[in-house]
Structure 1
């Protein structure tokens, strides 16, 4: 359960002529903790997204597809100096099958993750959004996005990364968070605070995230991106299975059969 909730907090589209440059710092907190359980920085530039998670020694680069071509992920292991590539279309196929499996599961929580539905509310004055269900609920504080280009890039990255994270971490379907992402895009807002509850919105959240959004990249940010691009040429290219113990799911598309019920 905790693993799924962490995934739900995690969260660039087709290339445009005027791609946006911006950054998002994320800190995720466990209940009652003042120090973050995890931290990351995601840099958006030229239509691509660079996600840095120092604790995992992993960098994830997402490059959206152009025309009829699917997007791609490049994963860098900065400790072993490995890199691997994964097609976003393969990731989407695998998570779709996982979602179909969960949607017919006898467990109510699993069934919800496969076919989620929320009662939604948005307060335009405060920017607060609520997504409520008996199985899982979100409360978000939002702010207006700087541009439509930034919104498109952010939405595509959040959806794609949620699906990738599900496979690499052997998680459950990301459909609940993807519904939230859709609602954010429809309102042209980005989250600056996210609270996740394992039921109705009552008491302390199970997980909380803070997002610091800056609509410009610093010189250090651009240096970090340049350094990462150099590593793409320097690191050893390996198969998905060698990069991650869970990545064999991609080769098989999914270990879960669509018609499986328990």
Structure 2
């Protein structure tokens, strides 16, 4: 259950169509995710935004995900890089959207209440503009977020496109839960023009200690090191061997299973 909830917490924070921006914003988000009762992060990542694209680096998994939104009404596209095997794979945003839409429709009529909720989530929302606290509550799951104002509308559009797209991508690659709950949270963040700096995920109402907690360090500028990482990732796109999505995700899922098994012991 904790692993399934983790898919609903990640930044990993496209609606069915992806809007591009007229002016791109450059910024970074460093993320740490903590499991209940743990002081050390269960996962860490850095996501860099530049030129309208997003580069998500997960060093412990030797994996980089690049999201490039499409022009006009065309869907976006993902490039997946495995720096350990030097593999590259690409997935169109249209394929991601079709698969996750079918999954949401299936879950929305499922007999299991939790699955049914993920297919068609409905939250009670409360936002405190003075403190920046956002609460999305329900009987099935709840979010508590600490937020701060976004630097610009362009940054908000880029972030929203990536957060929704990444949530759907995880569902496709890892056979996870429908991304509806997290996408509802993303929608609320965009409506209030805020970005999360802390996210807590609860099983059921907001009571006691959260099952999972994420910390986001948002910086509205890229460093020279950040730009070097982006340049390196772009070189990998040209150099790595292209493989089918199934081959790429097979090895990635094997590593994830090994990590989950290690953590459970």
Q: Give me the TM-score of the superposition, normalised by structure 1.
A: 0.92
Q: CA deviation at 1:246?
A: 9.0
- Is the contact between residue 133 and residue 146 of structure 2 (CA under 8 Å) also seen in structure 1? yes
2:56 corresponds to: 51
| 3-state secondary structure, aligned to 1:4 | helix
**Residue of 221, 224, 233 corresponding to 2:229:** 224
The equivalent of 1:133 in structure 2 is 138
Equivalent-residue separation in structure 1 for 2:22 and 2:210 (angstroms): 40
**Could you say which residue in structure 2 is the equivalent of 1:9?**
9
For 2:226 and 2:204, locate their aligned partners in 1 and report how far apart those are by CA, in whole Å. 38
Identify the residue that residue 152 of structure 1 maps to in structure 2. 157
Partner residue, 1:257: none
Give 3-state SS (helix, strand or coil) of 1:68's partner.
Answer: coil
Q: Secondary structure at the match of 1:245?
A: helix
Q: 58, 63, 69: which is aligned to 2:68? A: 63
The answer to whether the 8 A contact 2:21-2:158 is kept is: no
| Partner residue in 2 for 1:28 | 33
What is the rounded CA distance, in whole Å, between the counterparts of 1:68 and 1:205 in structure 2?
Answer: 39
Q: Which runs of 4+ in 1 moved over 4 A?
A: none
Aligned equivalents of 2:176, 2:103: Cα separation in 1: 10
State the match for 2:248 in structure 1.
243
- Report which stretch shifted further, 16-25 or 155-164: 16-25
The separation in 1 between residues aligned to 2:249 and 2:42, in whole angstroms, is 22
CA contact (8 A) 2:20 2:72 kept: no
Aligned counterparts of 1:54 and 1:69: Cα–Cα separation in 2: 31
Shift of 1:16: 2.5
Distance in 2, Cα, partners of 1:237 & 1:199: 42
CA displacement at 1:18 relative to structure 2:
1.6
CA distance, structure 2, for counterparts of residue 211 and residue 30 of structure 1: 15
Q: Is the 8 A contact 2:107 2:118 kept in 1?
A: yes
Q: Give CA deviations for 1:190-211 in whole Å, capped at 9, x if unaligned.
A: 0000000010000000000000
- SS of aligned partner of 2:8: helix
2:261 corresponding residue in structure 1: none
User: Equivalents in 2 of 1:241, 1:169: separation in Å?
Assistant: 11
Partner of 2:205: 200
The answer to whether the Cα contact below 8 Å between 2:19 and 2:73 also exists between their aligned partners in 1 is no
- 1:15 is displaced (CA, Å) by 3.3
- CA distance, structure 2, for counterparts of residue 221 and residue 155 of structure 1: 21
Between the aligned partners of 1:222 and 1:114, the Cα distance in structure 2 is 38
Partner of 1:170: 175
**Do the aligned residues in 2 keep the contact of 1:25 with 1:40 (CA within 8 Å)?**
yes
Corresponding residue SS for 1:79: coil
Displacement of 1:223 after TM fit?
0.4
* Partner in structure 2 of residue 77 of structure 1: 82
1:245 Cα shift? 2.3
Q: CA 1:246/1:97 → structure 2, altered by over 3 Å: closer, same or farther?
A: farther
**TM-score, length basis structure 2:** 0.91
Distance 2:238 2:70 in 1: 21
